[in-house]
């Protein structure tokens, strides 16, 4: 997921996407533990997407606080 795509989404959409990614990460870790994961890089990419979304949400939070 690109940062540009993330910035275009609303905060509520990002919260929803974040929860979906967290559940996907849990499933991927479970598959890794049971030796059913085909591509271990999926875990890394999912973690990075979670970090990107959290960063954008935090930036928006800070901008909102400074505007007040």
Question: Residue 23 sits in which domain range?
Answer: 3-67
Pick out the chain residues at pLDDT < 70: none
Q: Would you call 43 helix, strand, or coil by DSSP?
A: helix
Per-residue pLDDT at 20: 98
Q: Note the pLDDT of residue 17.
A: 97
At 58 the pLDDT is: 97
Residue from 64, 47, 17 nearest 6 by CA: 17
What's the confidence (pLDDT) of residue 65?
94
Identify the pLDDT of residue 34.
Answer: 93
Task: Output the domain CATH number for residue 58.
Answer: 1.10.287.310
Overall number of domains in the chain = 1
Answer whether 0.75 is exceeded by the pTM: yes
Backbone angles phi, psi at 12, to 5 degrees: -65, -35
């Amino acid at each position: 997921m690109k940062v540009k795509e993330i910035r275009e989404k609303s905060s509520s959409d990002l919260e929803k996407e974040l929860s979906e990614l967290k559940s996907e990460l849990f499933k991927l870790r479970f598959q890794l533990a049971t030796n059913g994961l085909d591509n271990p890089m999926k875990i890394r990419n999912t973690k990075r997407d979670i970090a990107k979304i959290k960063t954008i949400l935090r930036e928006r939070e800070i901008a909102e606080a400074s505007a007040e």
